[in-house]
Amino acid sequence: MLVDLHVHTTASDGTFSPHEAVASAHGKNLGAIAITDHDTLAGITPAREEGRKLGVEVIGGVELGCDLGPRELHILGYLFREDDPELTEKLSSLAQGRTYRGREMVRRLNKLGIPLPWEDVASLAGEGTVGRLHIARALIRGGWIGSHNEAFAKFLNPNRAAYVPRMRLLPGEAIELIHNAGGVAILAHPKLINGDKLIPQLRDAGLDGLEVYHTRHSWQDVAKYSKIAQELDLLVTGGSDCHGPGGKGEVLMGQILVPGECLVALKEKAAEIGG
């Protein structure tokens, strides 16, 4: 069985609805996917409903943005109690912070002479949490920018004129939050943080594993992070980081092959953490 343990939906900054994400997984013969939206669990239940119809197992997950010194990194949580009060309260706070941040970024764009209405961004986000991809899409739709990459390079990346830092956790806080809810904490796409020396520090803070398989990891990267995971006694997981057809220019789901053994190991670890 092949799986994809990193999928975003319209509940955050993806362009697949939860139902469409599951349908895409079914069409690509995946046995299971994890819904890992940013700072929200809203996409999990509707995805499970579709998964039951199509025979695709849907795993509950979330992606949390963290700061460690000057670096931004992301912690993926899996198989936690989705009604955990501490977790749901923190996610609500993070979602509110995303809305404030989005409004402030639009305000800065307006000051730069781009009359992007906040309502255009909010309509793209719908009921989901607001992210920079929504602003990028609104800029493209309004004709001010030609591509997502251009939007980020000119305005939305750190140190650009419209960038606003968002509320984040320390990695140890994110790991503890996930563990307290009975879940498993995984470092997302480690190559992208350019901080391999940080991995032992994160392991000491309770990190359970590495996202070894990823669409921006070469096979050399897969070999390297598999070795690091083995040396540090960390789990190996993987996912496409799919944001749907309009997220990063293409549908990433199905572009990497993640063995089902990764999900089996996650479940075993979750059972261990949950006691």
pLDDT-wise least confident of 104-113, 222-231, 248-257: 248-257
Residue 98 binned pLDDT confidence (cut-offs 50, 70, 90): confident
Q: Report all structural domains of the chain as residue ranges with CATH numbers, in order of start.
A: 2-85+170-274 (3.20.20.140), 91-156 (1.10.150.650)
Banded model confidence at residue 248, pLDDT cuts 50, 70, 90? low
Cβ count within 10 A of residue 5? 25
Mean pLDDT within 160-178: 91
Cβ atoms 214, 241 nearer than 8 A:
yes
Instruction: Provide the mean pLDDT of the chain.
Output: 94
Which phi-psi region, left, alpha or beta, contains residue 167 (left: φ > 0; alpha: ψ -120 to 50)?
beta
The CA-based angle 89-95-99, given to 5 degrees, is 145
pLDDT band at 275 (very low <50, low <70, confident <90, very high): low
Percentage of the residues of the chain whose pLDDT score is greater than 90: 80
Least confident of 107-111, 193-197, 235-239: 193-197
CA-CA distance, 146 to 164, in Å (whole number)?
22
**Does the model's pTM come out above 0.75?**
yes
pLDDT 10s digits, 65-80: 998 877 889 999 999 9
Q: How confident is the model at residue 230 (pLDDT cuts 50, 70, 90)?
A: very high
